[in-house]
Structures are given as structure tokens and as C-alpha cells.
Amino acid sequence: MDLYSYFRSSASYRVRIALALKKLDWNYIPIHLLKNEQLRAPYSDLSSAKLVPLLRDGDVLLSQSLAIIEYLEETHPTPPLLPPTAAERARVRALALGIACEIHPLDNLRVLRYLARELGVSEEAKDRWYRHWVESGLEIVEHKLAGSHATGRYCHGYAPTLADCVLVPQIVNAQRYNCRLDHVPTVMRVFEACMQHDAFISTQPSACPDANT
Amino acid sequence: MDLYSYFRSSASYRVRIALALKKLDWNYIPIHLLKNEQLRAPYSDLSSAKLVPLLRDGDVLLSQSLAIIEYLEETHPTPPLLPPTAAERARVRALALGIACEIHPLDNLRVLRYLARELGVSEEAKDRWYRHWVESGLEIVEHKLAGSHATGRYCHGYAPTLADCVLVPQIVNAQRYNCRLDHVPTVMRVFEACMQHDAFISTQPSACPDANT
């Protein structure tokens, strides 16, 4: 399998973690977002959305990180990244979507560019925007994690799930942008647990082939 | 089952469509977003994210529209809202996420409020922001639909799927905000097909018990 990725893309990092958790073989193909490689051919011919990640599995070309992880779950079910019952799976998916739909989309590169270029928002106000959505969004995740007996060492129980694949990249980004994190102790406890797990360590931005390029 | 919904919430409309497609019995519990009922008890005690929809199924309380629909798919598999193969399922989920993660989050009420109140963005610039993300996001959906033989009467084949549940509410919103739609003919063809199907008609905003309240 080939993964088109950028080291700092948190959506790419989600898929890298899932691939590592499932111990799959894959090639890393870097697409440099700050150099706008996603906007030009040949990549733009592959990705109509001009976003990373993309995963190529034989003839199949997959987009959208959560759809890719669900695909990996269905094609390589062991170890599972979703728990066994429908209600538990819904909890894990809701945790993942609470980050992927409520926090991340507001803070990605094209949105920050629009704020600055089209709306003339100052650097300071743009940073405030970034921190607002991260900090308030994580507060909701904290509430869900701290308020449930289903939370264990990881977001759900004692093995990493889809929710951890999405949580960890968001926290790495939050740290990079100096967001407040002391108000989300359960989130940070889970994050620290993940960052002792090789699948999360070996795929983190600083460990990517294109790190700091 | 009880669905906490607001007639104009497109995330709520997604779940209403799925419930109707699966011909399930459910009660409509209105939560008035413009009156901020989602921010106050008793609803805010149920929803830590202070968002609609929520679905209560017996003891289980479910959040995040896509997680709710996946739950319905697992607990009530007929008729299916996801196709049979992993690759097809990934396509349908990616179409749904391409709207749910790339378009909708930028245009929901709390984001538009932040733009106006915190960033002092003018009404005109706010409308331009709204239309920008809808029109550019739908262009990507158009590209995916028009470029694939898998597209049929609906987003995927000849029966409605999760992708249609997410597409239709986005188009209804786009029409309400006078977004340009003539550049996405395949999207609109699918939309028109859906709007001839009772599950989409009977659950549309104007048909909800709280319509125009």
C-alpha cells in the first residue's frame, strides 16, 4: 500500500497510526502541503479534493482519513480498532467525529489561509481562532472521556481504537500551537498513554521521512 | 427511539433520513437552536457538545450524526445504507465525510456567530465565507460523482446510501443561502432523485413538527 502523506498533516497521522497498529506494510509518499504540491499535477489528478492523505491499495484509491481507517478495519480486522458492540462502536466513532468534524476542519491550512487572505484577519486573531476551536472542542472530548466508565487507559478500554488515532494528532497540533491543555486532564492522560505505544511514536510527524522539510 | 432535532439542523436531517429509509419508529423532540435551547439544561446535561442531533435508543444515548447512522446500519441492517464491499463502503463514507468534514463544519451556526461576534466580520463577508466553502466543497463532490461509474441514480448505485443522507441536507442549506449550484450538475441530479423519495421528503425541514418556529 502507498500512503500519500505530509508529516504535519494530522489527517495523515491518523492513518499512519492505524497502519502501524495493524502492522501493515506501506510506502510513504510525501506531498508537501506548504509547497502546494497537493494543488498541482500529478497529485491533484489523484486527489480531486487536493487533500492528504490518500491510500492506494492495489487498484483502490481511498480518501478521507476516517473512511480509510474503516476500510483498513474491514480488510484487516486484527487487531480491531473498533470495539465489539454497536453501542461501543458508536461511542468510539462519536469521539473520533467530535474531533474530525468539530475541531480539525476549523483549523486546517486552507481555512487559516482564507481567514488571513480573504477576511484580512490579523495573525493574533487567527491564533485566537485556532486556540478557541481546539480548546473548546477538547473540553467536550474531556467531558465525554471523564464522564464514562468505558474510558480506560485509552479512549475506549485498554487497547487503542479509532478514537485514539484521531485524538493524538489533534493534541500534537494543539501543543505545536501552544493551546491550553491543562483543562483536559483525562484527554492528556490518554494522550500520554498513546505516546508510550510504538504505533503512535513511530508514525509521529518528527519520525516521518519528510519531517521538517 | 427519541431523536433530539432542530428542523433546520442539517446534521439532524441526515439522521431523520436514515431513520425514514430504515422505516423505524421514532419520536421527534425539538431543540430550538436559535433560542439556544441546546446551551441550557436539561438538554445541555444530555449533550456535552451542546449540539443536535442526539438519538436515544433504550439506554443508549448517541451523538454525532455519522456515528448514529453507522449504529442504525449495524442494529437495523435492512435496507442497507452502505454497499457490500469494503472498497464501495469506503467510497460512500468518503463522499459523506467530504461533506461532513470539509463543508458543513465551516458553515454551522456557532462558527458563523464566532466570525461575526469575535472577528467582527461583516454580514457580506460572512455570506461570502459561507458560499465559498459550500461551492468549492460541492465542486469536489461533483468531481467524485461525475468521474465514477459507481454513481447511479443516487450517489452510489440505485438505492440511497449514507452519502445521500449527508448530501441532501447540505444542498437544502445551500439553496437557502442562495449558493451557486449550476456548476455541480451531477450533484443536483442526485439531489433531485432523492427529493422524489419519500424518506427525504417526509423528513425535510419544512415537514418537521418544529418547522418555522
Grid cell at residue A197: 505505544
Among all residues of chain B, which has the CA nearest to that of A145? B48
Interval A101-110 mean pLDDT:
91
Distance of alpha carbon A201 from alpha carbon B137, whole angstroms: 33
Residue written as grid cell 487503542: A160
Quick one: pLDDT at residue A75? 98
CB-based contact, A68 to chain B, within 8 Å: yes
CB-based contact, B135 to chain A, within 8 Å: no
Grid cell at residue B153: 441514480
Test B97 with A144 for CB contact under 8 angstroms. Answer: no
Which amino acid belongs to residue A67?
A
Q: Which residues of chain B neighbour A186 with C-beta distances below 8 Å?
A: none
Q: Which residues of chain A neighbour B128 with C-beta distances below 8 Å?
A: 118
Q: Check: CB of residue A13 under 8 Å from CB of residue A19.
A: no
The answer, yes or no, to whether residue A35 has pLDDT greater than 90, is: no
How many helices and strands (H and E) does chain A possess?
9, 4
**ipTM for this model:** 0.96
Grid cell at residue B144: 467524485
Grid cell at residue B73: 446500519
CA proximity to A31, closest of A99, A100, A109, A101: A109
Quick one: pLDDT at residue A109? 84
**What does R_g of chain B's alpha carbons equal in angstroms?**
17
Q: Which residues of chain B neighbour A100 with C-beta distances below 8 Å?
A: 97, 101
Distance of alpha carbon A5 from alpha carbon A11, whole angstroms: 9
Instruction: Identify the residue among B22, B64, B71, B103 best suited for mutation to test binding to A, counting A beta carbons within 10 A and taking the highest.
Output: B64
Distance of alpha carbon A122 from alpha carbon A53, whole angstroms: 29
Q: Check: CB of residue A164 under 8 Å from CB of residue A155.
A: yes
Q: Which residues of chain A neighbour B94 with C-beta distances below 8 Å?
A: 62-64, 67
Instruction: Identify the residue among A57, A109, A119 best suited for mutation to test binding to B, counting B beta carbons within 10 A and taking the highest.
Output: A119
CB-based contact, A102 to chain B, within 8 Å: yes
Helix (H), strand (E) at residue B29 = strand B27-30
**pLDDT band (50, 70, 90) for residue A128:** very high
Q: Which residues of chain A neighbour B186 with C-beta distances below 8 Å?
A: none
Share of chain A above pLDDT 70, in %: 100
| Residue from the list A48, A101, A115 with its beta carbon closest to the beta carbon of B144 | A48
B2-79 and B86-199 agree in CATH topology:
no
CB-based contact, B52 to chain A, within 8 Å: no
Q: Which residues of chain B neighbour A126 with C-beta distances below 8 Å?
A: none
Specify the CATH number for A86-199; select among 1.20.1050.10, 3.40.640.10, 3.40.50.300, 1.10.3720.10.
1.20.1050.10
Quick one: pLDDT at residue B45? 85
Quick one: pLDDT at residue B33? 87
Q: In CATH, which superfamily holds the domain spanning B2-79? A: Glutaredoxin (3.40.30.10)
Distance of alpha carbon B98 from alpha carbon A7, whole angstroms: 21
What residue ranges do the domains of chain B occupy?
2-79, 86-199
Chain mean position to CA A135: 16
Quick one: pLDDT at residue A212? 83
- Determine the distance in angstroms separating the CA of A45 from the nearest CA of chain B, rounded to an integer: 11
Quick one: pLDDT at residue B176? 93
**pLDDT band (50, 70, 90) for residue A112:** very high
Write out pLDDT tens, residues B170-181.
999 999 999 999
CB-based contact, A144 to chain B, within 8 Å: yes
Test B90 with A68 for CB contact under 8 angstroms. Answer: yes
> How many residues comprise chain A?
213
- Determine the distance in angstroms separating the CA of A97 from the nearest CA of chain B, rounded to an integer: 7
Test A64 with B129 for CB contact under 8 angstroms. Answer: no
Write out pLDDT tens, residues A196-207.
999 999 999 999
Among all residues of chain A, which has the CA nearest to that of B69? A90
Write out pLDDT tens, residues A129-185.
999 999 999 999 999 999 999 999 999 999 999 999 999 999 999 999 999 999 999
- Lowest-confidence pick of A28-37, A90-99, A179-188: A28-37
- For the beta sheet containing A27-30, the strands, ordered from the edge strand earlier in sequence to the opposite edge, are A27-30, A2-5, A54-57, A60-63
Q: Across chain A, where does the E strand assignment appear? A: 2-5, 27-30, 54-57, 60-63
Q: State the pTM of this model.
A: 0.97
Distance of alpha carbon B5 from alpha carbon A103, whole angstroms: 22
| Residue from the list A74, A93, A104 with its beta carbon closest to the beta carbon of B89 | A74
CA distances from B28 to A114, B48, B81, B203 (A): 38, 20, 22, 11
CA distances from B194 to A1, A126, B157, B160 (A): 36, 39, 12, 8
**pLDDT band (50, 70, 90) for residue A115:** very high
Per DSSP bridges, beta strands A2-5 and A54-57 are: antiparallel
- DSSP labels, A10-52: HHHHHHHHHHHHTT---EEEE--TTTTGGGSTTHHHH-TT--S
Quick one: pLDDT at residue A170? 98
Grid cell at residue A98: 467530535
Quick one: pLDDT at residue A103? 95
Chain mean position to CA B126: 21
| Chains A & B: contacts with CB separation below 8 Å | 116
List chain B pLDDT tens, one digit each, 213 residues: 999 999 999 999 999 999 999 999 999 999 998 888 888 888 888 888 888 899 999 999 999 999 999 999 999 999 999 999 999 999 999 999 999 999 999 988 889 999 999 999 999 999 999 999 999 999 999 999 999 999 999 999 999 999 999 999 999 999 999 999 999 999 999 999 999 999 999 999 999 999 988
